[in-house]
């Protein structure tokens, strides 16, 4: 996650008081406390909430989130601390001396009930017409506290217009409870800062710069705010009605590509614990729903490795052999559309560092309406391409005006994991118990390298497996191909591999220490970019950036809730599935080989591949486009 040293842009009021676990003992050792009459010891600086969690005293929370700094604004977690006149919010209160806590006294229960009553009085909308029905923290609190009437009334008319302007995120502020998790997500976790509290008092609302529609402000569409919204105030822009319509239209040939991350998380929507991959059950479900073909985005992930890896080697040659001063290194990955929009807005002068390779989603879309149409003889005008993605930014990406290289809209719809789960449920299917089935030809089964794109560091690992072998003729020097320095959840990671005994044609790389960095969450990307701007990355060759914490498995379209543990479990599921696959290197994917023989005959980074598989970027800066 992000470092404990939070951005200077976050008000101190919202910064964590947390003292690092290890440091606690050094500062003051253990503190004696009493919770509901029972005695315990906690490290100095532990919050009351953490202490209560540790010793199994349930405290309700709303504005608290595992990923975010502390706000202490909802007040639902208040507890009684002996000797203090007022109740204290458990999430904010650091234990620095011996205290006695009551978590269920009359005063506490009454206050919590009042707070829930107040929130409900100001929350417009009915649970049964809400996308978060049965997965809403406000609803759960109301149930937990036995709310059976609106003590302080209930708003009967919506006050705010729903903001549908963004391809990715829909804002319905009538359902907002002002917990400000989205604000903290946007500014702290992502360093974007397009959401902020506006107005004051009862008129306070979460909004954008000058109250503009979301599509007109600097939003990177990452959807991390959606994942952390406790209610239905933020949701993704759902295309499922249009997809159903296409499926129900016999003239349309509806195909779906499925990204690696949704399969590792969709089980959560059906009640499974995080960390169960349902790859092949999902294939069956998609066919049952009515998709004509089910393809694996990992195929185009493998293709991305070929294109992006070749591009990197070309850049290295240009820099090392041709001494071309215009070549930009390090090369940055470009498969995360949230990251692409982030760099377009915040570092518009550094776009030449981005790989020109399209994301796997867009590569696949362009091939489906060209190569696939050609192979099957289906009129591309009748092909509807759906992309199952863990991502809300993919919805924006497929609507970029430049993404029409096939002559049609390359990808028609970006569909999130949550939205697909809803479609599957609507079709009356219980996903976890379906029989397994494989992906369809002509793209078939992909390599494990494509699969691990789903987790942070995966693209780097996949690229290294291919690039190293291409250059040296040997496999990467890691046990079972597992390049462990690429893995893990640290915000920014860096490592290097030395290229030795290279093949003759790559002699200019002999002895080069291939240095790479990995960042996930745009706050971490910002750290890397600031280093680049400061000229501190001159010895780095390749940087992977994913906009979302944890990479795609933590994407803005993934099941809610999210937490570091949940994301780690999803990543584990991906790596476990990958370890058992027969092909684990992109360049060994037979379907990739086939497409370079049959269709992209001039090879990676050639003329046709540039037309279909590469793109360009827009210098957006602080202005909207």
Partner 1 sequence: MPILNKPIIFDKNNFGNGFEKGLNGRPMDIVLEIRESGLKGRGGAGFPTGTKWMLAATAVSEKKYVICNADEGEPGTFKDRMLLTEFTEELLQGMILCGYAIGAKEGYIYLRGEYEYMLSHINGTIQKFHEEGKLGKNILGKNFDFEITVRLGAGAYVCGEESALIESLEGHRGEPRNRPPYPVNTGFMGYPTVVNNVETLVTVPIIINKGAEWFRNIGTEKSRGTKLLSVSGDVEKPGIYEVPFGTKIIDMLDMVGAKDTKAVQIGGASGICIPKEELHRNLSFEDVPTGGSIIVFNKSRDMLKILKNFMEFFTEESCGQCTPCRIGNKKLLDGVNMIEQGKCSVKYLKELIELGRTMQVASKCGLGQSSPNPFISIMTHFGDEILAEHY
Instruction: Give catalytic residues, as residue numbers.
Output: 308, 311, 335, 355, 394, 397, 402, 552
Residue 83: how many other CB atoms lie within 10 Å: 7
Query: CA 420 to CA 133: how far, in whole Å?
Result: 16
Tokens of 153: 């009334």
* CA pseudo-torsion sign 351, 353, 358, 360: negative
User: Which residues fall within 8 angstroms of residue 241, CB to CB, at 6 or more apart?
Assistant: none
Determine phi and psi for 129, rounding to 5 degrees: -115, 35
Burial of 320 (0-12, 13-18, 19+ CB in 10 A): middle
* Residue with Cβ nearer partner 1 (96 or 422): 96
Cβ proximity of 497 and 468 under 8 Å: yes
Cβ proximity of 151 and 117 under 8 Å: yes
* Residue with Cβ nearer partner 1 (206 or 499): 206
Nearest partner of 42 among 53, 31, 34, judged by Cα: 31
User: Which residues fall within 8 angstroms of residue 300, CB to CB, at 6 or more apart?
Assistant: 257, 360, 361, 363, 364, 367, 450
Nearest partner of 262 among 66, 454, 46, judged by Cα: 454
* Residue with Cβ nearer partner 1 (121 or 382): 121
Residues binding partner 1 (CB under 8 A): 11-13, 17, 70, 72-76, 78, 85-87, 89, 92-94, 96, 107, 110-111, 114-115, 118-119, 121-122, 151-153, 177-178, 180, 196-197, 199-204
* Residue with Cβ nearer partner 1 (90 or 373): 90
Cβ 184 to partner 1 shortest distance, Å: 13
* Residue with Cβ nearer partner 1 (64 or 371): 64
Cβ 539 to partner 1 shortest distance, Å: 34
Cβ 84 to partner 1 shortest distance, Å: 9
Cβ 406 to partner 1 shortest distance, Å: 47
Cβ 74 to partner 1 shortest distance, Å: 6
* Residue with Cβ nearer partner 1 (94 or 348): 94
Cβ 78 to partner 1 shortest distance, Å: 5
Cβ 8 to partner 1 shortest distance, Å: 10
Query: CA 476 to CA 587: how far, in whole Å?
Result: 13
Nearest partner of 223 among 72, 70, 64, 337, judged by Cα: 337
Cβ 27 to partner 1 shortest distance, Å: 13
Nearest partner of 464 among 451, 488, 481, judged by Cα: 481
Determine phi and psi for 102, rounding to 5 degrees: -120, 125
Cβ 92 to partner 1 shortest distance, Å: 4
Determine phi and psi for 337, rounding to 5 degrees: -65, -25
Query: CA 104 to CA 113: how far, in whole Å?
Result: 12
- The secondary structure element, H or E, covering residue 142 is helix 137-144
* Residue with Cβ nearer partner 1 (179 or 264): 179
Query: CA 123 to CA 130: how far, in whole Å?
Result: 12
The residues pairing with 43 across neighbouring beta strands, listed in sequence order, are 30
* Residue with Cβ nearer partner 1 (85 or 616): 85
* Residue with Cβ nearer partner 1 (11 or 432): 11
Question: Pairing relation of β-strands 169-171 and 234-236?
Answer: antiparallel
The residue written with tokens 């795609």 in the block is 552
**DSSP characters for 288-335?**
HHT-SEEEEHHHHHHHHHHHHHHHHHHHHHHHHTS--TT---SEEP--
Cβ 150 to partner 1 shortest distance, Å: 11
Query: CA 566 to CA 572: how far, in whole Å?
Result: 10
Burial of 114 (0-12, 13-18, 19+ CB in 10 A): middle
* Residue with Cβ nearer partner 1 (81 or 434): 81
* Residue with Cβ nearer partner 1 (230 or 262): 230
State the greatest distance between any 2 C-alpha atoms of the chain, in Å, as a whole number: 80
Cβ 63 to partner 1 shortest distance, Å: 9
List the beta strands (DSSP E) in 320-453: 331-332, 383-389, 413-416
């Amino acid at each position: 996650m992000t470092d404990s040293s939070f951005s200077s842009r976050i008000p101190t009021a919202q910064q964590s008081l947390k003292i690092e676990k290890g440091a606690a003992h050094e500062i003051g050792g253990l503190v004696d406390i009493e919770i509901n009459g029972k005695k315990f010891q906690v490290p100095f600086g532990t919050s009351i909430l953490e202490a209560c969690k540790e010793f199994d005293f349930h405290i309700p929370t709303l504005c608290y989130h595992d990923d975010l700094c502390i706000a202490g604004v909802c007040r639902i977690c208040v507890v009684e601390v002996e000797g203090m006149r007022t109740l204290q919010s458990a999430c904010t209160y650091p234990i620095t001396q011996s205290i006695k806590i009551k978590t269920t006294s009359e005063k506490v229960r009454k206050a919590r009930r009042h707070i829930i009553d107040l929130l409900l009085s100001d929350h417009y909308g009915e649970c049964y017409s809400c996308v978060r029905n049965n997965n809403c923290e406000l609803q759960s609190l109301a149930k937990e506290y036995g709310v059976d009437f609106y003590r302080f009334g209930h708003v009967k008319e919506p006050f705010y217009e729903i903001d549908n302007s963004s391809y990715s995120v829909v804002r319905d502020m009538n359902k907002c409870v002002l917990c400000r998790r989205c604000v903290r997500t946007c500014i702290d976790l992502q360093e974007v800062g397009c959401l902020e509290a506006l107005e004051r008092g009862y008129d306070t609302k979460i909004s954008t710069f000058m109250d503009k529609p979301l599509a007109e402000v600097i939003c990177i569409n990452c959807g991390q705010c959606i994942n952390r919204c406790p209610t239905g105030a933020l949701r993704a822009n759902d295309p499922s009605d249009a997809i159903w319509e296409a499926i129900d239209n016999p003239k349309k040939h509806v195909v779906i590509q499925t990204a690696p991350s949704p399969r590792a998380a969709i089980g959560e929507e059906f009640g499974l614990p995080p960390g169960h991959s349902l790859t092949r059950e999902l294939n069956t479900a998609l066919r049952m729903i009515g998709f004509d073909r089910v393809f694996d985005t990992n195929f185009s992930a493998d293709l991305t490795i070929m294109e992006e890896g070749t591009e990197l080697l070309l850049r290295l040659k240009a820099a090392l052999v041709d001494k071309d001063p215009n070549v930009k290194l390090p090369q940055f990955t470009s498969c995360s559309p949230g990251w692409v929009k982030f760099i377009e807005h915040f570092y518009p002068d550094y776009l030449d560092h981005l790989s020109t390779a399209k994301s796997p989603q867009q590569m696949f879309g362009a091939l489906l309406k060209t190569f696939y149409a050609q192979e099957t003889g289906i009129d591309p005008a009748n092909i509807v391409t759906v992309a199952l993605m863990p991502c809300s930014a993919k919805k924006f990406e497929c609507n970029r005006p430049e993404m029409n290289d096939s002559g049609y809209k390359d990808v028609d719809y970006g569909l999130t994991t949550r939205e697909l789960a809803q479609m599957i449920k609507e079709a009356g299917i219980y996903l976890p118990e379906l029989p397994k089935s494989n992906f369809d030809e002509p793209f078939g089964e992909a390599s494990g390298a494509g699969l691990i794109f789903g987790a942070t560091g995966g693209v780097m690992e996949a690229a290294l497996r291919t690039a190293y072998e291409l250059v040296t003729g040997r496999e990467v020097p890691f046990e079972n191909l597992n390049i462990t320095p690429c893995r893990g959840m640290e915000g920014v990671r860096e490592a290097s591999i030395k290229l030795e005994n290279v093949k003759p044609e790559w002699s200019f790389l002999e002895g080069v220490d291939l240095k790479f960095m990995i960042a996930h969450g745009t706050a971490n990307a910002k750290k890397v970019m600031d280093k680049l701007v400061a000229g501190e990355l001159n010895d780095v060759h390749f940087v992977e950036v994913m906009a979302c914490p944890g990479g795609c498995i933590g994407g803005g379209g993934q099941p809610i809730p999210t937490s570091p543990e949940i994301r780690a479990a999803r990543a584990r599921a991906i790596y476990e599935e990958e370890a058992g696959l027969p092909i684990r290197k992109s360049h060994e994917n037979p379907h990739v080989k086939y497409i370079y023989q049959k269709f992209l005959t001039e090879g990676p980074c050639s003329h046709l591949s540039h037309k279909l598989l590469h793109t360009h970027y827009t210098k957006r800066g602080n202005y909207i486009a």
